Amino acid sequence: MVRRYADLGASSIRGIDVSEVGIQQAIENYGHLANFYAGDVHCMPFPDDCFDVIVGRSIIHHLKFEVALSEISRTLRPGGRAIFMEPLGDNPASKVFRRLTPRGALKMNHPFPGSRSRSVTIYSAAQSIGSLT
């Protein structure tokens, strides 16, 4: 995805992962396109309001959700977006959710922790399954 983000015109790309081995592999493969950091999304080493977009792939089930949302909110610029892609197609709870929301998307009023307004869209492998605004 790093190459795709660069091709789309991202002026700065940063990646974070708890795995130092994974970070080393990312540096070897894409270090010429992005900066990578070993770290935890629950306490990111980035300043407030520094990202226009935050993308997470297959990580939600690993997170302390409220803590992670607080950090995402802190590091997103006003008007920024956080997008999470999750491989939930075969997850039984996702199947029930999609049956209950025939169009595959549900708008929910659920503010981020803190006083700042942010928006998160959560995607399954095939479709949007929820939006927090």
Q: What is the pLDDT of residue 91?
A: 63
**Mean pLDDT (the chain, rounded):** 75
Q: Is residue 3 predicted with pLDDT exceeding 60? A: yes
116-126 pLDDT, tens digit each:
444 444 444 44
Total domains in the fold of the chain: 2
| Unique residue bearing structure tokens 């792939």 | 57
Same domain, 62 and 96: yes
* Higher per-residue pLDDT: 25 or 106: 25
Q: What is the pLDDT of residue 47?
A: 94
Q: Is 92 buried (19+), middle (13-18) or exposed (0-12) by CB count in 10 A?
A: exposed
Same domain, 107 and 87: yes
Same domain, 18 and 60: no
Phi-psi region of 104 (alpha: psi -120 to 50; beta: other; left: phi over 0): left
Same domain, 16 and 61: no
Q: What is the pLDDT of residue 100?
A: 61
Same domain, 25 and 57: no
Q: Containing domain of residue 22, as a range?
A: 1-39
Same domain, 14 and 52: no
